[in-house]
Amino acid sequence: MKTLRNIITSTLFSLLLFGCGSSASIISTPVENIDTSPLKVSDLTEAEKHNWGHLDLVTDTIPGMSVDKAYAEIIKNKKGAKVIVAVIDSGIDIDHEDLNDNIWTNKNEIPNNGKDDDNNGYIDDIHGWNFLGDGYDEQLEYVRILASGNTNNPDYAKAKAEYDKEYEKYLGYKTQYDQIFQQITNADETLTKHLGKKDYTKEEVNEIKSEVQAINQAKQIAQYMFSNGMDSMGDAKKEIKDGLESINERLNFNLNKNFKGRVSGDNPDDMSTKFYGNGNVKPVKKSESHGTHVAGIIAAERNNGKGANGVANNVEIMSVRTVPNGDEYDKDIALAIRYAVDNGASIINGSFGKSFSPHSDWIRDAITYASQKDVVFVHAAGNDSKDVDVEPNFPDDNINGEEISDTYIRVGALAPKYGSGMVAGFSNYGKKNVDVFAPGASVYSTTPENEYDTKGGTSMAAPAVAGVAALIRSYYPKLTAAQVKQIIMDSGLALKPKVIVGGDNNDIRPFADLSKSSKIVNAYNALIMASQIASK
């Protein structure tokens, strides 16, 4: 079997010229021979964990997008055009050290004068718009359907079944976590008393020898926590406490039929009122980190010695705060898409989604509008481990199976391991309705207050693709949005391994059956193809 190093010299490679008068030839990633790649058996290094989505399958045996290779061999010192990418999400920390130089500013608006200087209907929209106002917690969409009391709603029965299942499940989680937290707390107190110190070490716990049952039980609990990656019992308590906080939020807000989260003053079922919210696009609390993480994947400043590298340079992030701690409203999403288009975004990232969408037509109209205005819309496929050809995830771009947009890209998530486990267990998929796959599990990026963290989801895969779209639009600005989509789909790596689907070890299918393109996104190949098309 050939090794990756042998493949590089294979005569099966196609020699593709970069174009624009360059005399240097670029060798594309070996699509024909990629499946002879050996599996990576060693654990990822810390550096690889923080950057795996930018690595190269041939060089690194990791299913990244060859971003670093593209910069080293294609982009180099070339100067591209500025590209505005709208991030429709939760709030973004626009003051973050790794983002603050890449934030869009509305130059036609005078800051903080209380006037709509550019006459776009939004007052003081300096860095984008906040359709949520001061809101944060919200219900899930199927809970809103039940709360309306309209039993004639065709989705009512399905919503009730989903609610009953989820509410029972989270009540069970709460009981389990409460019990675990109490056990850890008791064990920690027992070990602290026995060892005479609070900051005891793993080694000290392992050396405990006692005939007292309570001490031995505490030792076993601590050893179990240490074996599962906890450095201390304090860390274990924090982990469980954070889990409890999330569970309680789910029960108290997301699944609470009596909770009223909307504070913007408009009617979410009436599209006649459009100008609500405010110009504050930042998170309302530190834990509102999703939008900041997504923005960093696209646009964190590259090679500045700080925490993360974004996929794209020459990017300005427009923040459109629309996604609460719960399900987004269809009206907000539809207006957010239109706001982004009308204010100059050429790419929109949407890392959100839900299984119920009472006004899905409003969003489809907005997606059509974006397509007509030559805007690429990149959307996360969802994290339910489901086939979206069978069980819809909204928003989507089709009516009765017919696509309404040729600039909408739906993205599934990869994990950082080439082979049978390379599709993230949580990722949705669909031969008709998912276009491509990209790095989405265990992605390191920016979080509020100059911090960084690792998160996973198709929410992380979508901005990776939005970043590649931004690279294409920056260096080949004459290409249309439809061409950008087709390049991303056609230039990816067509992989043939059989993979575990939906995290179910009994469900093994060819990777090619999980998306329309059968490919993983590759920035290096995309820029080569963009060069060829642009030169024509």
Structure tokens at 49: 């964990």
Domain count within the chain: 2
What pLDDT does 400 receive? 84
* Positive or negative torsion for Cα 326, 331, 333, 336: negative
What pLDDT does 117 receive? 97
Q: Of 234, 254, 274, which residue constitutes the final position of a domain?
A: 254
What pLDDT does 20 receive? 36
* Cα–Cα distance measured from residue 427 to residue 382, given in angstroms and rounded to the nearest whole number: 6
Q: What is the domain extent for residue 371?
A: 69-132+266-535
Would you say residue 82 has pLDDT above 60? yes
* Cα–Cα distance measured from residue 412 to residue 269, given in angstroms and rounded to the nearest whole number: 30
Residues belonging to the chain: 536
Here the CATH number for the domain that contains residue 460 is 3.40.50.200
In a domain, 20, yes or no: no
Provide the percentage of residues in the chain whose pLDDT is more than 70. Answer: 93
Structure tokens at 395: 């928003």
Would you say residue 515 has pLDDT above 80? yes
When mean pLDDT is compared across 6-20, 157-171, 351-365, 413-427, the lowest value belongs to 6-20
Residues 162 and 307 reside in one and the same domain: no
* Cα–Cα distance measured from residue 198 to residue 187, given in angstroms and rounded to the nearest whole number: 12
Residues 225 and 246 reside in one and the same domain: yes
pLDDT band at 298 (very low <50, low <70, confident <90, very high): very high
Q: Between 523-535 and 458-475, two packed helices, what is the crossing angle to 10 degrees?
A: 30
Residues 339 and 468 reside in one and the same domain: yes
Q: Of 254, 279, 300, which residue constitutes the final position of a domain?
A: 254
Residues 478 and 426 reside in one and the same domain: yes
Closest alpha carbon to 282 in 462, 137, 96: 96
What pLDDT does 18 receive? 31
Would you say residue 433 has pLDDT above 70? yes
Q: Where are the alpha helices (DSSP H) in 415-499?
A: 458-475, 481-490
In a domain, 12, yes or no: no
In a domain, 346, yes or no: yes
Neighbouring C-alpha atoms within 13 Å toward the C-beta of 432: 15
User: 519 has which bridge partners?
Assistant: 494
* Positive or negative torsion for Cα 302, 443, 516, 345: negative
In a domain, 3, yes or no: no
What pLDDT does 27 receive? 41
Structure tokens at 104: 């869009």
Q: What is the pLDDT of residues 46-81, one digit of tens each?
A: 999 999 999 999 899 999 999 999 999 999 889 999
Residues 228 and 369 reside in one and the same domain: no
Would you say residue 32 has pLDDT above 90? no
Structure tokens at 340: 């982004």
In a domain, 27, yes or no: no
End-to-end CA distance of the chain: 39
Residues 80 and 126 reside in one and the same domain: yes
Average pLDDT, the chain: 92
Q: Of 254, 285, 317, which residue constitutes the final position of a domain?
A: 254
User: Does an H or E element contain 130, and which?
Assistant: strand 128-130
CB 523 within 8 A of CB 66: yes
What pLDDT does 37 receive? 59
What pLDDT does 274 receive? 95
Would you say residue 521 has pLDDT above 60? yes
Closest alpha carbon to 28 in 526, 534, 536: 526
Residues 305 and 217 reside in one and the same domain: no
Residue type, 447: T
Residues 279 and 347 reside in one and the same domain: yes
* Cα–Cα distance measured from residue 457 to residue 367, given in angstroms and rounded to the nearest whole number: 22
pLDDT band at 43 (very low <50, low <70, confident <90, very high): confident
Residues 241 and 303 reside in one and the same domain: no
In a domain, 395, yes or no: yes
Q: What is the pLDDT of residues 165-220, one digit of tens each?
A: 999 999 999 999 999 999 999 999 999 999 999 999 999 999 999 999 999 999 99
In a domain, 245, yes or no: yes
What pLDDT does 291 receive? 98
What pLDDT does 35 receive? 55
Q: What is the pLDDT of residues 129-175, one digit of tens each?
A: 999 999 999 999 999 999 999 999 999 999 999 999 999 999 999 99
Structure tokens at 147: 């709360």
Counting Cβ atoms within 10 Å, is residue 112 exposed (0-12), middle (13-18) or buried (19+)? exposed
Would you say residue 86 has pLDDT above 70? yes
pLDDT band at 11 (very low <50, low <70, confident <90, very high): very low
3-state secondary structure of 451: strand
Residues 271 and 250 reside in one and the same domain: no
User: Does an H or E element contain 46, and which?
Assistant: helix 46-51
Residues 162 and 234 reside in one and the same domain: yes
- Name every residue whose Cβ is closer than 8 Å to that of residue 197 and which is 6 or more positions away in sequence: none
In a domain, 144, yes or no: no
- Name every residue whose Cβ is closer than 8 Å to that of residue 69 and which is 6 or more positions away in sequence: 56, 59, 524
What pLDDT does 38 receive? 65
What pLDDT does 10 receive? 26
Residues 242 and 307 reside in one and the same domain: no
Q: What is the pLDDT of residues 224-275, one digit of tens each?
A: 999 998 999 999 999 999 999 999 999 999 999 999 999 999 999 999 999 9
pLDDT band at 42 (very low <50, low <70, confident <90, very high): confident
